[in-house]
Amino acid sequence: MLINEAKLTSPIIVIDPIVPSRNAASALTEACLSRFVTAAQEYLKKPSTLFFERTEFDHRSLELLAGVTYKIHLAPLSDKKDIAGAQHVKVLAYICEQAAQHDFAVVGSGWNWSTQFSGDIFVRVEKDTLSPTATVRGPPVSMASAAAAFEAIYSQALQTFEKDDRLWATAKRKFTDFGALLDSLKMHELITVRSKSFSWTKL
């Protein structure tokens, strides 16, 4: 009841015993929790102290994956590493979410949480340029209300058609270049309240 709704988006809610209005796990993402669960399962299969050794993220490791890497620099708002880190985790998650929404497949991402934290995060996308149009899968024609809603949403599409008893639409993409998508995010409130500046470089 005391916690701001925006702080309840993490997969685990941990009420801070000192400040009850704070979710101590608000920076935790689904991806990080999933990695932790996988690591815990591997540890239980074959326990080793190696699981507790700290390893720094090296963006060059992303080069092992197919695609293109983008370095995004965020000037931290706080000198405190934990606060700056939590803010940057949110920004990285948001960028990956927006990439997926616009059909850019993120194959890898990361950053270093170290004493030398520079504010650089890295995102590798499978392709950084897309075709001008996309084919969108709609509901079955038999679902009248859903079909009507789909047709209303895509009323300005280049084409709508039926195939295999389902509606489809061919529409123009809003972004065909990943850099253009990043530029559009610069002034988004989720980013401006978490960093002094936002810039990117294609590696």
This model's pTM is above 0.95: no
Residues 41, 51 contacting (CB under 8 angstroms): no
Rounded Cα distance, 154 and 184, in Å? 23
**58-129+175-203: which CATH number, 3.30.70.590, 2.10.10.90, 1.20.1250.20, 3.10.129.10?**
3.30.70.590
pLDDT at position 178: 96
Antiparallel, parallel or unpaired: β 133-140 and 106-110: unpaired
Rounded Cα distance, 178 and 23, in Å? 33
pLDDT at position 88: 83
Q: Which residues sit opposite 182 in a β-bridge?
A: none
Q: Per-residue pLDDT tens, the chain, 203 aa: give them.
A: 767 776 677 788 888 888 888 888 876 777 778 888 999 999 999 999 988 887 778 888 888 888 999 999 888 777 777 777 778 888 888 898 899 889 999 988 888 766 556 678 899 999 999 999 988 888 898 888 888 888 888 888 888 888 888 989 998 899 999 999 999 998 888 888 888 888 999 99
Domain ranges of the chain: 1-53, 58-129+175-203, 133-172
Long-range Cβ pairs for the range 152-161 (8 Å, 24+): 158/133
| Gyration radius from the chain CA atoms | 21
Rounded Cα distance, 128 and 92, in Å? 17
DSSP letter (8 states) at residue 63? G
Residues 185, 197 contacting (CB under 8 angstroms): no
pLDDT at position 115: 57
Q: How many CA within 13 A on the CB side of residue 26?
A: 20
